[in-house]
Amino acid sequence: MQYIGEHLLPGQIGHLLAVLSFVAALLASVSYFLAVRRRTLPDEAGWRLLGRGAFVVHGLATLGIIVALFWILVNKYYEYQYAWANVSDDLPFQYTFSAFWKEQQGSFLLWSFWHIVLGMILLFRAGRWEAPVLTVLSAAEAFIGSMILGLYIGEYRLGVSAFDLLRHTMDAPIFERADYLSQITGNGLNPLLQNYWMTIHPPTLFLGFASTLVPFSYAIAGLWTGEHREWLKPALPWALFSAAILGLGILMGGAWAYVALSFGGYWAWDPVENTSLVPWITLVAGIHAHLIARNTGYSIRSAYAFYLMTFVLVLYSTYLTRSGILGDSSAHAFTEMGLGAQLIAFIGAFAALSIALMAARSKGIPAPKQEEAIASREFWMFIGVLVLLFSAVLITGATSLPVWNKLVQIFKPDYVGAALKDPVAHHNRYQLWIGVFVGLLTGVAQWLRYQERNAAIWRRTFARHMLIALVGAAALTALNALWLNVFAWQHFALLFAAMFAVVANVDYLITFLRKNLKQAGSALSHIGFGLLLLGILGTGLNKHWISSNSFAMEGLIEGMGSEELNKNVLLLKDAPMPIRGYEATYLKDTIERQTRTFAVRFRKRDAQGNPTGEEFVLYPNVMYDRQFSQVVASNPSTKHYLTYDIFTHVSSLPKAELDPEFARQQEDSIRFEAYEAAIGDTIFTKKHYLVLDDYTKAPQHPDYRPEKGDLAFGLKLRAFALDDTVGHAAAPMLYLRPKQGAFTLPAQIGALQMRVRLTEASLARLIDADETLQYRSLRLKEGESAEFEGYRIQLVRLNRNVEHPHYTPEAGDIAVTAELLVTAPDGATAKAAPVFLIRDSRSLNLKDEVAKWGLHFRFENIEPSTATMTILAARASAQARRIPVEIAENAPRSDYIVLEAIVFPGINLVWLGSLLMLFGLGLSAWHRWTQRLRT
């Protein structure tokens, strides 16, 4: 069949480039490999040139694929499955990036892109390391390239192409039509991913992942060429850079989870988080081993091992998150694409290469004959490296349980599998000790010296500064214990270790580095680590839910759950709810596009429950899907203070708000009863009474958008419970819209579970009342008065400025308002403003009323010769003044939200500490890079 309107060219180009990119990466790897093998031989330069050429071609081809895919997404070519699944016509342009790397193919391309950028820098700057390093990097690129090939080799499909056509991936009758494209539209991007975090977090994280390949490649190069010391210098800035960026990527993930998703925290020990944290930990361990090796010659073997391990762990993390094996244990959803086997081959190849090379070259790796001195920095730094290794092994072990279960099930199909009872508690319990040891070691090792030969002389300085650190840490621990809820001795240990790290490193910074801040990277990082631990303690121990009201909820709970679990509170609209330390009120909600935003006001209260005067409004929102049939995301809103945050999100909504069908049924099942009353009267229902205060021709209602030509009427009333004097204002209304008909907008009085509405009978009474009225003419000049049925009517003045609600000005109109002052027998006064209008040489008039007294006025005529106005006045009968209204009681409430509100003390210490740690790494990377260039 010849399909209409398809754009097949970008897809064909993309496909072709994918193959070219893959082949070029292979060629680059092989050429560079031969260039290394044939070092010092005449054809070395030729191979290297070929390798370069192939790598550049690979880079350009990959850029071409990226452009082709982007083109398809930007132009919304829904004939491609990738575009159909991830974008839609109404998707704002800036989210095209999110859509690009949302799926596996796009994120592989992003990863590949960074490898190419880094590879290009290495190609120009790595000098004699270019060939071995790029051999490894190109090989990795070939593996990644194979993931997006989408080639069939017999029955086996190698990779998943980003350019598959929708009609090839899906079987639907619509594809029997040649013009199917004009009938379909894209799915659009999941609203959860429509935010700027999804735009900045993946590129940063993938740059982090990609950059771990550089120290890995240097390590392989060192082992391969046997230049075990020489690679250490050029690789160091790369490793530091990688740790800074990978750390930043992970931190952004935490920040995203915290500020934009309703995960209720920045770290949840989720498998996806863990598997990106572990490579970072091994990388940091590797950097420390690397520094020992650079300065003393010890630990070269460890530096190798950790860098090799880091990249293999990055691959393992990729496997875990992309193969779908985490299924039961992670909240992150990944669509499985059948790449499992290819990913295992990728890990297998790089792990095997690493192990084989390490084994083969292990004997030749140099190390000093003499053991490290106990009083040396390298000894304690190495202990720290081992502690980090423990951390990595523990986290990986626990996170890999699903993999272990799968493996066992291959041999023992009835194996049920093990899982962690409570992952968060488990990880916290063990990682706490990692924090303690690392905190203490950073303080101690900083004050020791590499290859200490004069321990006796240094001992005094060391002891003095350790004393400063111990005393300072003890003081700060005591100080922080004032605000932290520390009870367990383990937490005291962690707090002390954190403070020890801070004091010792600040001391070091002041003593040695204040004149040379370029070298302050390590001290700053370690201070940051200490502050991060303090922040973790604050958010972990002092985090508390304020969204609970045990008093209000008491007796309502079946079986009485423990208070810890009561994290949600129900807020009725406009009803202030006392919660811990605050009074929360759900004020209003507004809808824009698919987002519904709730305004919730918090008023701080003191211990006695009195308001302190401090208040703020938070705006959590929920996002509906495109059909408005369900809520797909609940986004938090957070109040930031310097020392803590108040984090809120809507955890549930009334069913009627989630399900329009249910809402319709519910609305139909409400029973209204008819009543009649005049303005000023009171209606008594079974459980309530209502006072009709006024009648208006310019009503306001949340659902009413006035249009030209509308005739609108509304009531203002107050409703009371029979045994109460607190009035609840309500304003039902109805309006006539030309050519469309009459519409009634009921008023909800949530607190009393009431609905009040006007009906067609009300409309008839309001409009037709005129026919039953007996008008009497009053002839008045400006300023004059007349008596009417005991009321005194004064024509105050005429006004050319007409503001009658039912008056819409037209060109050529002559319109005048008669401003009347009405005085009742009891002295009360009211105003009325009927209008006289000449339009198209016909005289018309617009009436006005004093509804509470049943008085109606028309402005009928002006006699220019005598300056006398004819005002018609009438008083409606008691019966005619009664307005029919319908009232429902026991209407189900749908004006509430269920809110979760959490206080995170010390959250800013988490951000500050992490950023300082990463800044220190970045500073060191920059320092080492410039140093490297100098020699």
Partner 1 sequence: MKRSHLIAIAVIAIAIGILISASQDMTTYANFAQATAKGDRVKMVGQLVKDRPVEYDPVKDPNYLSFYLRDDAGEVRRVILRAGKPQDFERSEQIVLTGQMRGDVFEASDMLLKCPSKYKDEEVYVRSEKR
Q: Is 729 in the site for partner 1 (CB under 8 A)?
A: no
Report the amino acid identity of residue 160. V
Evaluate whether 906 touches 774 at the Cβ level (below 8 Å). no
Asked if residue 566 binds partner 1 (CB under 8 A), the reply is yes
Residue 128 or 453 having the CB closest to partner 1 = 453
For residue 807, how many other CB atoms are within 10 A of its CB?
14
Considering the complex, state which of residue 12 and residue 169 has its C-beta at the smaller distance from partner 1. Answer: 169
Minimal distance in Å, beta carbon 628 to partner 1?
14
φ and ψ at 809, to 5 degrees? -60, 145
Minimum distance between the CB of residue 18 and partner 1, rounded to whole angstroms?
23
- Identify which of residues 94 and 182 has a Cβ nearer to partner 1 in the complex: 182
Amino acid at 361: R
Interaction between residue 634 and partner 1 (CB under 8 A): yes
Minimum distance of partner 1 from residue 622's CB (angstroms): 7
State the binding string over 531-560 for partner 1 (x if CB under 8 A, else -): ----------------------x--xxxx-
Contacting range for partner 1; rule: CB under 8 A; set: 577-585, 645-653, 682-690, 864-872: 645-653
570 neighbors 585 (Cβ within 8 angstroms): no
Distance CA 430, CA 861 (A): 92
Residues 600-629 contacting partner 1, CB under 8 A: 622
**Single-letter amino acid, residue 365:** I
Binds partner 1 by CB under 8 A, chosen from 352, 565, 698, 867: 565
260 in Cβ contact with 195 (< 8 Å): yes
Of 570, 712, 872, 925, which lies in the binding site for partner 1, with binding defined by CB under 8 A?
570
The residue type found at 519 is: Q
Question: Based on CB atoms, which residue is closest to partner 1, 317 or 635?
Answer: 635
Residue 107 is inside which H or E element, if any?
helix 104-125
Q: How many residues bind partner 1 (CB under 8 A)?
A: 67
Position 312 contacts partner 1 (CB under 8 A): no
Nearer to partner 1, 423 or 699 (CB): 423
Q: Which residues does residue 433 pair with via DSSP β-bridges, in sequence order?
A: none
The pairing of beta strand 711-721 with beta strand 621-624: unpaired
Helical residues (DSSP H) of 785-900, grouped into ranges: none
Q: How many CB atoms lie within 10 A of CB 823?
A: 15
- Using CB under 8 A, pick the residue from 79, 372, 452, 848 that binds partner 1: 372
CA–CA dist 895, 892 (Å, integer): 9
Choice between 7 and 893, CB closer to partner 1: 893
Point out which span in 426-434, 530-538, 636-644, 855-863 binds partner 1 (CB under 8 A): 426-434
Closest to 820 in 3D by CA, of 838, 795, 845: 795
Site for partner 1 in 78-107 (CB under 8 A): 85
Tokens of residue 616, six digits: 């703020």
Q: Give the N- to C-terminal CA distance of the chain in Å, as an integer.
A: 67
136: which 2 tokens?
A: 């490894």
Amino acid at 611: P
Smaller CB separation from partner 1, 556 or 933: 556
Q: Which amino acid, 858?
A: R
Q: Closest approach of Cβ 561 to partner 1, in Å?
A: 4
859, 816 Cβ separation under 8 angstroms: yes
Using the contact rule CB under 8 A, the part of the chain among 353-361, 595-603, 632-640, 876-884 near partner 1 is 632-640
User: Binders of partner 1 among 352-371, rule CB under 8 A?
Assistant: 371
Whose CA is closest to 830, among 807, 796, 860?
796
422 interacts with partner 1 by CB under 8 A: yes
Instruction: Please say which residue, 268 or 679, places its beta carbon nearer to partner 1.
Output: 268
- Nearest distance in Å: CB 775, partner 1: 53
Sign of torsion, CA 20 26 32 38?
negative
Amino acid of residue 873:
A
CA dihedral in degrees (549, 554, 556, 559; nearest 10)?
Answer: 110
**How do strand 791-799 and strand 896-905 relate by DSSP bridges?**
unpaired
**482 binds partner 1 per the rule CB under 8 A:** no
Segment 320 to 349, residues that bind partner 1, using CB under 8 A: 327-329, 331, 333, 335
Q: Where are the alpha helices (DSSP H) in 482-520?
A: 489-508
Kindly state the smallest distance separating residue 75's Cβ from partner 1, in Å. Answer: 13
Nearest distance, CB of residue 443 and partner 1, angstroms: 20
**Tokens read off for 93:** 């342009």
Q: Look up residue 190 and give its amino acid.
A: N
Q: How many Cβ atoms sit within 10 Å of the Cβ of residue 810? A: 10
Q: What would the two tokens of residue 410 be?
A: 């291959």
* Between 190 and 823, CB nearer to partner 1: 190
Site stretch for partner 1 (CB under 8 A), options 134-142, 521-529, 648-656, 730-738: 648-656
Interaction with partner 1 in 384-413: which residues (CB under 8 A)?
386, 390, 393-394, 397-398, 401
Residue from 308, 347, 569, 822 touching partner 1 (CB under 8 A): that is 569
Sole window of 29-37, 535-543, 806-814, 892-900 interacting with partner 1 (rule: CB under 8 A):
892-900
Q: Which of residues 174-193 bind partner 1 (CB under 8 A)?
A: 174, 182-187, 190
Binding of residue 561 to partner 1 (CB under 8 A): yes
Residue placing its CB nearer to partner 1 in the complex, 329 or 480: 329
- When binding is defined by CB under 8 A, the residue of 318, 539, 651, 908 that contacts partner 1 is 651
Q: Which is nearer to partner 1, 440 or 921 (CB)?
A: 440
Give yes or no for residue 896 binding partner 1 (CB under 8 A): yes
What the block records as the tokens of 378 is: 């390298």
Measured from the Cβ of residue 184, the count of other Cβ atoms closer than 10 Å reads 14
Of the candidate spans 460-468, 678-686, 893-901, 924-932, the one that interacts with partner 1 by CB under 8 A turns out to be: 893-901
747-751: list long-range contacts, CB under 8 Å, 24+ apart. 747/701, 747/717, 748/891, 748/895, 749/719, 750/572, 750/573, 750/574, 750/575, 750/893, 750/895, 750/896, 751/572, 751/574, 751/575
| Site string (271-310) toward partner 1, x via CB under 8 A | ----------------------------------------
Separation between Cα atoms, residue 237 and residue 125, nearest integer Å: 13
| Run of H or E residues at 855 | strand 855-863
- Which residue is associated with the tokens 């009035």? 727
Q: What is the dihedral of CA 56, 61, 66, 67, to 10 degrees?
A: 100
Which of residues 417, 611, 738, 790 is near partner 1 by CB under 8 A?
Answer: 417
- How far apart are CB 377 and partner 1 at their closest, in Å? 16
For partner 1, the closer CB: 91 or 909: 91
Nearer to partner 1, 389 or 520 (CB): 389
Does residue 120 touch partner 1 according to CB under 8 A?
Answer: no
Stretch that binds partner 1, among 21-29, 167-175, 340-348, 530-538 (CB under 8 A): 167-175
The residues that touch partner 1, with contacts defined as CB under 8 A, are 85, 170, 172, 174, 182-187, 190, 327-329, 331, 333, 335, 371-372, 374, 383, 386, 390, 393-394, 397-398, 401, 416-422, 425-426, 429-430, 553, 556-559, 561-562, 565-570, 622, 630-634, 651-654, 658, 893, 896, 898, 900
